Amino acid sequence: MPPLYILSLGLLLLHTTPWCSSSATASNDTLMAGQELAFGDKVVSRNGKFALGFFQFHPASTISKSSHNTTSPSPSLWYLGIWFNKIPVFTTVWIANRDQPITNSSVNLTQLKISSDGNLVIVNHAADNESVVWSTHIVNKRTHSSINATSSAVLLNSGNLVLKESRSSDLLAWQSFDYPTDVVLAGAKLGRNKVTSFTRQPISKKSLIDPGLGSYSIELEDTRGLVLSRRNNPSVVYWQYTSSTTSSFNLVRVLNSLLDSNSLTKGLYNLVYVDNDQEEYYMYTSHNESSPSVFVSLDMSGQIKLNRWSQANQSWQIIYAQPDDPCNPPAACGPFTVCRGNPNPSCDCMESFSQKSPQDWKFQDRTGGCIRNTPLHCTSGKNITSSTDMFQPIAQVTLPYNPQSIAVATTQSECEETCLSSCSCTAYSYNDSKCSVWNGELLSVTLSDGIEYTSEDVLYLRLAAKDFMPSLRKNKRKPNVGVVTAASIIGFGLLMLMFLLLIWRNKFKWCGFLPLYYDNQGSAGGIIAFRYTDLVRATKNFSEKLGGGGFGSV
């Protein structure tokens, strides 16, 4: 089992503030057949811990402390769900219509009620005919008159919404604990029915403001045990705890030990594992109904977390998380991103890529990832592929999901050419004389932190030449100002020295003192230098004089 880490962090998953309705009727825990729960009403459990009603998600940053007026995504969407009633940070634990939201224009015409066939339904009267937004979809063999007289929906102290065939009976026709959203409460089963093959499968939300079906799920399977998996591309299991009875009880023992070792949860909760002929499941229970609020969640990054409310800090604190590294879930940051780990996934676009939807990223929905700033330049003919694209190295990263090995490429240049020869190739790596290429989106690239990830691999990202050149300029070292200044002074000094030497040379030439060379005998001006043999010949061996002057004969 991977190592367990105790985390003490604010729960980012639930940093949203609702516009939830205030009760227009007496707060009670039951909705009888013939009654309707409308916009503005809510049902509250007897202990006051949970409430059921219509609500909206709103980003906390857009709401003032004194008002619920806000600028929300358009159109404004409404949901029916259950939340912690006494906790100031709005936290949902179950949502009925997570993928069928109600528009702002029709919420006043929408109600929750028990239908004539015994189902709990959300109905809308916006059209001429009543339309069903959501239903429990149970099959009831009793007569309609019997259903109308005895059926009831009750919000229990555990946060479980149950549909009873009669108010006095313990027989349940339906319960919300069997259809979790992204939360498992104390008393709820996480597991499967061996007879009917029915499974209780929490699924993460899409974003902070969209509770729709997200990317990750947790499930207790027959052969693989307790697994965390990604639901869409890539559809893979990324965390697993074996299904053997011994291992399951070991997991229970470890988690109970973890709960008892933490002063915040010691003696308050107990985890159990049940495996019999009918069903197999995990469940945690509370020893005291007044214990601090606790819930297990599967958040948008793919981690399963145990969260406890801290009254002192007025926030949720994470007691346990698995996988312990937030970059471990596949595609946690979306395509063409680089993930950095603890304590929360920090996601950045790759070089020359930008966020596909900054609005989605703002609300922690990174499934769209990043897109290229400039399209690749690649043309493919019958037998020839032409491309001017280049490659940007990204060092010390875990390589992307789903590589394709190229055995025929035995050098890095051959590996690069292999990638360039395919217009769908987006990256390659060449490590330990092995060539790998990737086609399409690059997923699950994590930067080495020297602790959890110590990869020395280099990924060569394919970019358009237009994007690559600015990158080179950006990476060039800026010239040192001192060196440039010194070089300029030295150059100027040498230039001045050459200029002075030229002046000095011309000065001597003009004054007649310029030294003459033997080869310049025929040149005009200045003193002519004669050789000794020339003088002997001219004076006939010094027997005749050459001329006369003020200082005598020459």
For the ranges 42-51, 119-128, 470-479, which has the lowest average pLDDT? 470-479
Q: Which residue has the higher pLDDT, 541 or 100?
A: 100
End-to-end CA distance of the chain: 118
For the ranges 36-45, 371-380, 430-439, 502-511, which has the lowest average pLDDT? 502-511
The yes-or-no verdict on residue 530 having pLDDT over 80 is no
Predicted pLDDT at 155:
97
The set of residues, in sequence order, having a beta carbon less than 8 Å from that of 229 and lying 6+ positions away, is 216, 217, 218, 219, 235, 236, 237, 238
Model pTM score = 0.75
H/E stretch holding 245: helix 245-261
Predicted pLDDT at 10:
38
Instruction: Render pLDDT for 386-427 as a digit per residue (tens, 0 to 9).
Output: 889 999 999 999 999 999 999 999 999 999 999 999 999 999
What does the mean pLDDT of the chain come to?
81
Alpha helices, DSSP H, located in 92-164: 144-150
The tokens describing 94, both together, are: 């179950």
Predicted pLDDT at 14:
42
The pair phi, psi for residue 419, each rounded to 5°, is -70, -45
H/E stretch holding 161: strand 161-164
Q: How far apart are CA 482 and CA 328, in angstroms?
A: 48
The pair phi, psi for residue 420, each rounded to 5°, is -65, -25
pLDDT band with cut points at 50, 70 and 90 for residue 476: very low
Instruction: Render pLDDT for 354-364 as a digit per residue (tens, 0 to 9).
Output: 999 999 999 99
The yes-or-no verdict on residue 526 having pLDDT over 70 is no
Instruction: Render pLDDT for 430-460 as a digit per residue (tens, 0 to 9).
Output: 998 999 999 999 999 998 876 666 678 999 9
The yes-or-no verdict on residue 252 having pLDDT over 80 is yes
The torsion region of residue 279 among left (phi > 0), alpha (psi -120 to 50) and beta comes to: beta
Q: How far apart are CA 91 and CA 114, in angstroms?
A: 26
Alpha helices, DSSP H, located in 310-456: 358-362, 412-420
The tokens describing 211, both together, are: 């509770």
Ordered by where they begin, the domains of the chain are: 12-322 (2.90.10.10), 337-475 (no CATH), 515-553 (no CATH)
Beta strands (DSSP E) in 260-314 are 269-275, 279-286, 294-298, 304-310
pLDDT band with cut points at 50, 70 and 90 for residue 35: very high
